Structures are given as structure tokens and as C-alpha cells.
Structure 1
């Protein structure tokens, strides 16, 4: 039996040894190549070696990460420098815990970050910076770094946004900003569910349960943790189930259920045996169990654990694990009534927690020192620590009371509202049963009168509106017709009177050899002809709508910098003189608006016959405008003229304008 057990262990040992040997061999090969290379090639090899050691092996990576980062800075390679600085900061956060060195690296990298080419590198860098600041106890700097990471993650639709929100939620929980924590964790949970990332979803639920616990909602916290454990058991790859039991134990301690506290801590240690993070969590769980034993008169069991921790200080009592060990040691000393030593450990623990600004832990540390000084009869120091303890407790307690009150007030208001609705429904039913017949008569009679009155009002209102509309339309048509008559009269006057006189002036100036007067007379004559043409388009009258439109476009093209593209079918056969004139005026007004207001460089005009309509589509690339605002506030007669002429023709006018992108105007005219 022993042989069967030893054989698998032996095979595992051989496998691990072989992997380490292969890693060392590959490392030496890369180091040899690096020694022979220079410049960019050397940096590329250094980068490959650093990534290989950091990501794929358990070898010491601190020195190679620093060397690669420094060489990349020397060659001004911002991407490589930032990537390896990110790895180094991550190593400091989780392994070496040399936070001051981490801050120096951040300061060194600051000038290079603007040269980084890819947002994903900066996303990863700021996430690791935020993690390090969190473990260093600088929560504000951590939140700031997570916000920067999120801004870069947004640039390339990264899936890390949920993780960043999750980590921010954790920081806000420890910082005591429970409202912000709730928002961040809810965002994270929604993101993980959307991405079907069960592993992170479980972790986020764990943080939400801690939030509930710190807010005093122990019932909700327990429910959340039970759901978390159920998910974790179904999701086989999840290896941190021990953390859930550890947090359950913390809640049981808060509500005074010590047997359940100890039982869950044992479950935490048992499940941690199969965790891939066993080394990280074991000191935490063992220290917590020692505290639980010490506080529940199991001094021998507590002392056994503390001695085991002290037997391996590098793994159990230093760096990140120092606070957990100090808590176990001070609790054991207090239970053994070794008060002076307990004070020394208690002071060290308090100072450590004050650096991290974790108020709940600081509160408990102050309470511990109060209890110790109370035991030795030092009333002055006991009072000092008791005041500190009550100040923090009252502060946190008042927040909790507010939240609890808000929580239960919501339930109360909901129940009260439901009760009012039920009473109202009951009263209505009772009234209905007593006055059923009367209510029916009143209801039907009232409805009949209301219907009759409404029907008559609608008919009267509709007739009045129709009559008013017809009067308005006739008035508008009369105005437009009068305008056309006046335009024709003025055009003829300009042509027959002013035009003839200018022609005579032109001839006389030519005969007199006065070139300046001749040029002025010719320009004036041309302007008069242009005005006359605008007032009464002769081409339209003599050659028809299609020729008139082409002539209009040619005139504008000659006198402006606009570039025209046209596709115009001959639709003259489908228009009488009146319709042709109105469509011409509509087109003329559209082009005038483009020239005056659009600031366009190009115009496209498409006129074609469809099955039963003539379609006119004019598109420009100008600055566009707010059509609704223009119609509400503008006093422009041109825009109103467009609408009125469209109504006369029973045509559909559509204007679609987008600011800074241009305008599309479409006229759909029905033909017989």
C-alpha cells in the first residue's frame, strides 16, 4: 500500500524536477544569446527571457525584469519598458512587497508613458499599479490608477473593464465607501455574467457579501455566500472556496456564533489544501484559527498554531502575512494574561493597520488595547483607546444604522403601499355591490352624453379646421400668385425699359472709345439680365422645366465655386406651366439657401420620374442646420415659401440635415 502511494509522489517529483531543469536550460540558452547581441536584437532577447521567466516558470524573476526595463529605457523603447515595469510592479505587489521600490519604478516610468503605442499595454500597467497601491494601503492612489486603466481599456473594447470594476469595488469596500463599492461590484457582476466568466463572477459575489457584512446586513451576506459556495462547487476549476468559508467565519464571529466560526475556519483550511493559491492563503487561515481558539479558551490549540507559524517566519510571519501573525500572537498573549507583551504586539498591529486606513480593523485594534490596559489597571491609556474605539465605532455604526433604516423603511413603505391598494380595492368592491344599478345608469348615461358631446365637438372642430385651412391655403396661393405676377412685371420692365437704355449706353460708349464706361455699361446690363432672369425665367417659359433647371444650375456654377454633379431626366411632358413654375421656384430656393448659408463645396442634383411621381433630390456637403429649431424660431420667408409651394402642388417636402455633415432635400411630386 505504501509503495502504491509513494510511486505517484515520486513521479510528480521527477516531473517537477524535469520542468525546472528544462526552464534552467532554456534560461541559460537565452542568456548566452543575449551576451552576444547588441541594440534592438539584445532588447528583443531580454524581453523574451523576461516574459518566459515571469509567465512560464517559478524561477526568480526580479533581476531579469529590472534589467530588461532598464535596457528598454536606455533604447527609448517605451512599449517594452512599460510592459516589463508592469510585470515588476505585479511581482512587488504579490511577492516581494517592497512598495517603496514599486513607487520609485512608477516615478521612473511616468515620462515614458505618453510614448506607449498600444492602449492594452497601459491598461495592464495601470491595473498592476492600482493593485500594488491597494496592497500598500494607499486606497486613493489605487482608485486613481484603476480609473486610468479603465480609460485605456475602453479605447479597445477590452474585456478587462469588468475586472477593473471588481477590483475598484474591493478597494471601496476596504475604504468604507459602501455606496461606490456597491455600484462598482454590481457593474462587475453584470459584466462577468455577460461574458459568462463564472470564476470572476464567484469572486465578485464574494466581495458583495463582504460589503453586506460590513454594512451589517448579515442575513443578506450569508445568502450571498451560500449562493457563492453552490456556484463554486458546480464550477470545478474554482480553487478558492476556502476564502468563502473564511469570510463566513468572520460573519459568524460578528454575530457571536463561535462554534460556527471555528467550523468554517477549519473548512477554509481543508479546502485550501487543493487550492492553487494554497501558499498565499494558508498563513491567513491558520492565523485566523489561532485567534478563534485563543478567544474561545482553547489556548493549547492556539499556541500550537502560533509556534508552527513562528517556526517558518519567512512564509508565515513577515511581509503581507505580518498583520495576520500579529493578530494571532496578541490574542494568544492576552488569553495567557501576558499583558505587557500583548500591548507590544497590539501597538505594532495598530500602527500597521493605520497605514492601510482599514477602519474596521483599526477599530478592533483600538478595542483590543483598551481591553489590555483595562486588565492591568491603566485607566488613562484604557480611556484613550476606548475613546478612539468608540469614535470609529459610532462613525461606522451611524452609517450602518442609516443603511439598515433605509433598507427596512423600503420594505415597510412597500408593504404599506400594498396594504393601501388592497384597502382601496376592498372599498371599491363594497361600494360597487351596494350601488351596482345606480352606478350602471350613471355610467352609461354619462358615457352617452359625453360621447354625444365629444362627437359634436369633434365634427365642429374638424369643419372649422378644414374651413380655416382652405382659407389659409387660398390666401397663401393668392400671395404667391401675386408675387409671380409682380416678378413678371418687374422683369419685363427691366428688360424693355432699363435693358434697352443700357444697350444704347453700351453702343454710345463704344462709339466714343471710352472703355471704362463701356465695361461698366456691359456689366450693368449683364446684372440686369441676371436679375430679370431670376425674376422671370425666360428659358423656363420658352423651353420648359428641364431646360430651365439646367440653365439655373449653369448660372450658379459659373458664378460660384460650387462643384455640381447632376442626373436630370426630361420630365416636361408631365408638368403644366403652373406646376413647372412652382417646382422651378422650389429648386431655385433650395440652391439659393445652399449658396447663402450652407458653406458647401459640392452639390448633387437628381431629378427623375418614378412610377407615379417626380422625385427631386438635392444633397450638399455643407455645415447643416437644426431643422426643427429653424422652423420654430426662424422668420425666413424662403423656408416658408418652400413649404407653401409644396402644399400648392400637394407635394411631399422632406429635409434631412445633420450638423457638420450636410443636408438632403427631397421633393416628391405626384403626377396624374
Structure 2
């Protein structure tokens, strides 16, 4: 049997020696002491459980020592499910209260050999969730995501909806940090729905705040403010100070981006006020103090900046080390810039860049490039500064692409569909404009004209020879190959326009700004904007960013949002069953079907399903609109139908289009896998 004298010693010592504890608390501890002295076995473990709950993570009572003793006692009784529960509590305590995720991960490693013997779904889920948090705080994103996913699978297996809400909430933060905004929004929305069902007001606020952060990161400040206002009202009504801290902290970041410095500082002062009232004061002080030091330094209030910076330098080591190292480095960088110490600031900026890369923080990566460029300019090193500016705009543009996919994906796909037949002319016009600025663009124009001539020749050949079987077969084979070449060429052109010419135009614009040549500067700026439009319309970027299933989901959501059609969907993830070529052709087929529905069906409701069968994928797009005669010449002669059939044959799928006038229509695609 484990020695209980050590346990009783620290209970009594902290009960009687802490002048802060009330008489009631002392009496309660005495009650536990007497009971523990006279019990053993299961009754002893039950008392330890009650004491652990009573202390409730309070380190003044040496919570970690108590729960460690309780774990060992539970294991000695072979009560492994209870031990797993206490281990999960101890990992949480190390992660969130003591800010020591290394210890949390170590505790998990010591216990993991017992996990296969656990039968409690709740204990297993909490173990996976809390060690995932340890890896998240340690910036090991790959391991963190692995354990969040394991926790999700276990929670779903045992119908643990409340825990599933936490998993989605924390995994959403990880996805957001990595720039996977669509996946983050999906997780946050799912978390908010689960917490509403559980009537968990605190975490409803956390989910709303996280959604606000996502919208703000993508420059949707009005939407972010609306989410944050809802959360603030709930938090202030329930006096949830822990929720108000990140709400005001994140609001300050938004005001900083909008260059509203007065509101930035006011929001941070509110965050500091609620930090002082929160029981998580020690964990929240470092980022809040660092943000205040940076804000005052950026606004020439050096005396106030230094007062908060001293709190960081004179505070405990964890104020300056992981997980707070990034906050401290940013505050140091702002102080050095404000003092004009640009050589020292360059060292801090390099550290900022290094941490952003190490932490895999997408936004910090591109902000670090801007910091480096600004400091190098101050040090009269313009060539190096321009290199960093190019990297900054490149990363910033990629964030912009993610943002537009979420809010404007529908318009992009509709534009591609409606402009399909005259895309060649549009490309020629845009490339003519850019050709005046670059020799490389001239070569791309010639190549684009050759492709355009080939596509036009294909269409004319198909229409003129469709009555002859042998010539039709030859035509179909040729069109198949051209579709593949067209998609490949679109992708290549989009890449080259963005990576090569785009970088040169950015550099040209910056140099023109330095020379203050307004007319040419405007022309370069317009050329850059038009170049970005071309690259986004040449190739559906959401397929590359999110995969087929998520890209189709985004497209349907945008149709539902931006038309009067009420869309329902059931989409299973089939990404692992599709090659890249099959995925893009299926995406185009669904896109064409939706475009026809929007134009002609006059429907108010529609449905899309994607089902994964044993040996095939089944896709059906149906509506309750006007319908049409499938035998009519207008229907059978349309370019859209021919394109659908060509793509269907190319990927080896079976295409079926059913409709009757007044009874709606449906498009069915079956593709073997």
C-alpha cells in the first residue's frame, strides 16, 4: 500500500499555514484528514476523489502532488478508468494552470501503456484531448492534429457531444494558426452548435470569439465585430472574465490593422482589467502586458511602454519563454524600433521570423517579412528590403485567396461558367495589356492564342462532323486530350503569371512608389490587379487548397447564400478515391450543372448528394424547377451538355440527365473507383 503520510503532511501544512484560507476551508481539510486516516481501499480512493474535486486545481494546496498520489493509488487498486480521469486532469493542470506543456506531455507518456486497458470513453477522450493541447502549446502541430483527431473519433464513438465541442474548438484554433481558415470555420461552427445543445454559455462565447478572429484575419471587420459583440454581451452578463480577456485582446488586434490606435489601446486596457479579475491571471498576463508594451511603443508613449515591458523582464521566466516567447519578442521588437535601435531590432525581427516559421503560424510568417523589410529600409539596405517585400506580398496574396474563396467562391465559379465560351477573348485582352510591360508576357500571349485556335477548331470540327460515326469517334478522342491539355495549361499559366510576372510587377510597383511616378504607378497597380484576376479564373484554387469534397461544399454554400435557391446537401468525403484529373473534371461538371440550374430552372429548392459506395461514387444534383424537354434540339445542341458528356467520357463515368416539363430535373453521375 502507498504511504499516506506524505499526502496528509502537505494537506495539513497548507491548510493551517496559509493565512489566506477561511475557517470553513480549514474545517473541511480537517474533515478529510480524519476520514483518510481511517479508510483504505475503495473508500480511501473515493475520499481522495472528493478532495481532488474540492481543491479544484488550486496549487496553494499542492494540487499536482495530490493528484499524482491519487493516480498511483488508483493504479494500485487496478482502478484504471479512474486513474485515466486523474491523469487527464493533471495534464490539463500542467497545460493551462502551470503553463508547463512539456510536463503534460511527459505525464501522458508515463501513463499511455495503460490506455488499451481503459473502458471509459470519457477518460480516453479527455486523455487524447489534453495531450493534443500539450503538443499544440509546444508548437508540434502535426502531433497535436493527430491527437485531436483521435479524440474526435473516440468522442463520436461514445456520443460525448460536450467533449466533442471542445475538440472542435481547440482544433479550429490549430487550423486557423496554419492558415486553414475554411477548416477552422467548420470546426468553430460545429463547436458552437454542440455547446448550444449543451447550454454551455462560456464556450458558446469562446466559439463566437474564435469566429470573430477568423473573419478579422481575413479583413471582414464588420462581421468580426458582430460576432464579438454577441460574445461580449454574454460574457458581461455572466461575468465570465476569462472570456472577456481574449475578446478585448483580439479586438485590439483588429483596431491595430485598421490603424485605430486609440481603440487599440483602450481594448488592451480592458483586457488587462479583466485579466486582473480572472483566476487565470498568471497565464493571461504575459500576452496582455506584451501587447500593451508594443502598443504604447508604436504610439510614442515610451514611458508607459517601458513600464509594461519591465513587467515582462522582471516577471517569472515563463513570461519570456514558450508559450509566451513570441509575445515577448514582438514587444521587444516594438521597443527597439521606437528607440531607434534598428540593428538590435533586426536581430529581434529575425527571431520573430524564426519563431513564426517554427510555430507554423501563417499570419506571423507574412507579418515578419514586413517587419524585416521596414527595418532593412531604415538601415539603408533597400535591395534586401525589396526581397522581403516580395515575400510579404506573395504570402499576403495567398491569404487573400483563402479569404475570397470563403466569401466570393460562388461569384468566381459563376464567372468561369458564364464566360467559358469567350474566355479566349478575355485572356487575349488581358494578356495584351500585360504584354506592354513584359517580354515574358508576350510569349505567354502567343502561346495562349495557339491554344485558343485549337479550342475553336475543336468546336467547329465537332459540330460539322457529328453525323459520321468514325469521324465523331476521332473528334471525341481529340477533344478528350485537349480538355486535359487545357486544364494543365490553365494551371501552368496561373502558376507562371503569379510566381514570375507577379513578383516582378510587385517589385516594379515598389520601385515606382519610391520614385513617385504616379501615372506609371497606377498602370502597374492596375496590371497587378488584372493579373491576379486572370490567375484566379484560370484554375479553381479551392480544389488545390481544400480538396474536392470541401471545394464542392464551399461552392454549394455560396449558391445557397447568394441566390434564392434553398440548397440541401449530403456530401461524403471522397478525396482519397479521386485522382487530381478526375477531381477537377467532376468539379467542372457540378459547376456547369449548378450554372444551368441557376439560369433556367426557376426553382426555389435543390439538393446535391455525393455518396461513397463499395465500388463507385454516386453524385446527384436535382431541383424542383420548371424542367425541360430532353428531346428538344435546344437541349441537345447546347455547348454545356456537350462539355458535360466529354468530361464524363474522359473520366469513365456514367452520365444521366432526367427531366420533364413542370417536374424539375436531375443530373446523375456514377464514377467507378
TM range (shorter): 0.5 to 0.7
Whether contact under 8 Å (1:215, 1:403) holds in the other structure is no
**1:353 partner SS:** helix
Alpha-carbon distance in 1 for matches of 2:197, 2:79: 37
With over 3 angstroms needed to count, the CA separation of the structure-2 counterparts of 1:383 and 1:102, relative to structure 1, is farther
1:154 aligns with 2:156: yes
260-269 or 407-416, larger mean C-alpha shift: 407-416
Q: In the alignment, which residue of structure 2 is the partner of 1:281?
A: 284
> Alpha-carbon deviations, 1:373-426, whole Å to 9, x = none?
332234565456445434432322332344454377669994899xxxxxx9xx
Alpha-carbon distance in 2 for matches of 1:40, 1:167: 35
Q: In the alignment, which residue of structure 2 is the partner of 1:241?
A: 244
Alpha-carbon distance in 1 for matches of 2:63, 2:336: 39
Q: In the alignment, which residue of structure 2 is the partner of 1:16?
A: 21
With over 3 angstroms needed to count, the CA separation of the structure-2 counterparts of 1:265 and 1:104, relative to structure 1, is closer
1:306 aligns with 2:309: yes
1:223 aligns with 2:226: yes
Out of 177, 181, 184, the position equivalent to 2:184 is 181
Deviation at 1:99, TM superposition (A): 3.6
Out of 397, 401, 406, the position equivalent to 1:398 is 401
Give the alignment of 1:35-184 within 5 angstroms. 53=55, 55=57, 58-70=60-72, 77-158=79-160, 159-184=162-187
**1:227 partner SS:** helix
Whether contact under 8 Å (2:97, 2:283) holds in the other structure is no
Deviation at 1:229, TM superposition (A): 1.9
Alpha-carbon distance in 1 for matches of 2:284, 2:561: 44
Give the alignment of 1:632-651 within 5 angstroms. none
1:208 aligns with 2:233: no
After TM superposition, the score normalised by the length of structure 2 is 0.53
Deviation at 1:146, TM superposition (A): 2.5
Alpha-carbon distance in 2 for matches of 1:378, 1:169: 40
Alpha-carbon distance in 2 for matches of 1:207, 1:55: 26
Deviation at 1:14, TM superposition (A): 6.2
Alpha-carbon distance in 2 for matches of 1:143, 1:191: 20
Whether contact under 8 Å (1:216, 1:404) holds in the other structure is no
Whether contact under 8 Å (1:54, 1:87) holds in the other structure is no
Alpha-carbon distance in 2 for matches of 1:187, 1:321: 29
Whether contact under 8 Å (1:265, 1:285) holds in the other structure is yes
Give the alignment of 1:567-646 within 5 angstroms. none
**2:183 partner SS:** helix
Structure 1: segments with no counterpart, 5+ residues: 1-12, 418-423, 425-672
Q: In the alignment, which residue of structure 1 is the partner of 2:501?
A: none
With CA pairs under 8 Å and 6+ residues apart, which has the higher RCO, 1 or 2? 2
Give the alignment of 1:245-644 within 5 angstroms. 245-314=248-317, 316-378=319-381, 382=385, 385-406=388-409, 414=562
Deviation at 1:224, TM superposition (A): 1.5
Structure 2: segments with no counterpart, 5+ residues: 1-17, 413-557, 566-599, 601-673
Alpha-carbon distance in 2 for matches of 1:380, 1:21: 69
Q: Give the superposed CA RMSD.
A: 3.7
Out of 172, 193, 197, the position equivalent to 1:190 is 193
Whether contact under 8 Å (2:373, 2:388) holds in the other structure is yes
With over 3 angstroms needed to count, the CA separation of the structure-2 counterparts of 1:108 and 1:397, relative to structure 1, is same
With over 3 angstroms needed to count, the CA separation of the structure-2 counterparts of 1:317 and 1:57, relative to structure 1, is closer
Alpha-carbon distance in 1 for matches of 2:561, 2:125: 45
Alpha-carbon distance in 2 for matches of 1:109, 1:42: 22
**1:276 partner SS:** coil
Deviation at 1:276, TM superposition (A): 3.4
Alpha-carbon distance in 1 for matches of 2:119, 2:141: 28
With over 3 angstroms needed to count, the CA separation of the structure-2 counterparts of 1:266 and 1:49, relative to structure 1, is closer
Alpha-carbon distance in 2 for matches of 1:394, 1:252: 21
With over 3 angstroms needed to count, the CA separation of the structure-2 counterparts of 1:346 and 1:65, relative to structure 1, is farther
Alignment coverage as a number of residue pairs: 406
With over 3 angstroms needed to count, the CA separation of the structure-2 counterparts of 1:68 and 1:416, relative to structure 1, is closer
Alpha-carbon distance in 2 for matches of 1:98, 1:304: 27
After TM superposition, the score normalised by the length of structure 1 is 0.53
Alpha-carbon distance in 2 for matches of 1:76, 1:48: 19
Alpha-carbon distance in 2 for matches of 1:386, 1:20: 60
Deviation at 1:291, TM superposition (A): 0.9
Deviation at 1:29, TM superposition (A): 6.0
> Alpha-carbon deviations, 1:209-266, whole Å to 9, x = none?
1111122212211121122222333334555323212211111111222222122222
Alpha-carbon distance in 2 for matches of 1:355, 1:29: 52
Alpha-carbon distance in 1 for matches of 2:211, 2:561: 25
Whether contact under 8 Å (2:241, 2:277) holds in the other structure is no
Deviation at 1:290, TM superposition (A): 1.4
